[in-house]
Amino acid sequence: MVISLTTDFGDGDGYVGTMKGVMARIAPGVPFVDITHAIEPQAVAEAAYVLWTSLPYFPPDSVHLAVVDPGVGTARRAIASLTEWGVLVGPDNGVFTYVWAAATPRLTVALENPAFRLSEVSATFHGRDVFAPAAAHIAAGVPLEAFGPAVADPVRLPVPRLDVVAGGLRGAVLAIDRFGNAITSIGRLIWAGPRLRLAPAFGQALSATLDVDAATVMAGTRVLGPVRRTYDEVRAGQALAIIGSAGMLEIAVNRGHAAQELGLGIGDTVSLVG
């Protein structure tokens, strides 16, 4: 049993440490794992992607606390959701969308029982007052049914853009990692000898197979050439397309920052044709 944390709080303030302190008082001895606190502020879709790539590698009895919450203090619900990847705790704003596409929720409840919150709940720090106590109580063995009523209609983000078009695939930039790689919605891609096969991702039932030698990647109007297996297949400073560790097509610059050097941003169109 572990409690993971994913937030947009950064490491310059005491917010993350405060949440851990709250949880340590309720569930002493439960270890914490920081997935990241470097999500861009209010970037719910980025957090959803990070959770989707990270949670399969945790023990299935983990509790995953995600606080990227631009609607804090509003009428948006606070929820906990049981899946085969563990229990998800956070705001009902779509942050768990991509996880749910791969690990169907078995039970989702609203966190309404005041017994499992702090006695005073601020309008601006539900991570400390609502979500951290709930995560700790769940880790300590409190059943989800004790927290509040079942939620049948949790908020879900739109499915990431991915179109099978004549001769290839068209998607968009989903996230930019700290190396400047532009991670796209084209995937999951699997090497199959001389071909690339599209496997299901985000619950999409799409299929396609492309010839590796004929396939060409375009970011906007810029032609990047074929999909590479490693960064060093091109010279330092050269742009390339590569399949990342999550199976998604990524745009990179060998020993450089692709997003800055190519002017790529979230939502920009990327194509894989051939």
Mind listing the pLDDT tens digit of every residue in the chain (274 residues)? 999 999 999 999 999 999 999 999 999 999 999 999 999 999 999 999 999 999 999 999 999 999 999 999 999 999 999 999 999 999 999 999 999 999 999 999 999 999 999 999 999 999 999 999 999 999 999 999 999 999 999 999 999 999 988 778 999 999 999 999 999 999 999 999 888 999 988 888 888 888 888 889 999 888 999 999 999 999 999 999 999 999 999 999 999 999 999 999 999 999 998 7
What pLDDT score does 257 carry?
96
Query: Cα torsion for 203, 208, 212, 217, to the nearest 10°?
Result: -70
What pLDDT score does 156 carry?
97
Q: What is the CA radius of gyration of the chain?
A: 20
CATH fold for the domain made of 3-146: Rossmann fold (3.40.50)
What pLDDT score does 54 carry?
98
pTM of the model: 0.94
State whether the Cα torsion 272-184-3-90 is positive or negative. Answer: negative
Residue 103's contacts (CB-CB under 8 Å, 6 or more residues apart) are: 55, 83, 84, 85
Query: Cα torsion for 20, 21, 24, 25, to the nearest 10°?
Result: -150
What pLDDT score does 222 carry?
87
Q: Which residues make up the CATH 3.40.50.10790 domain(s) of the chain?
A: 3-146
Q: Which residues make up the CATH 2.40.30.90 domain(s) of the chain?
A: 162-273
| Superfamily for the 162-273 domain | Bacterial fluorinating enzyme like (2.40.30.90)
Side chain identity at 225, as an amino acid letter? G
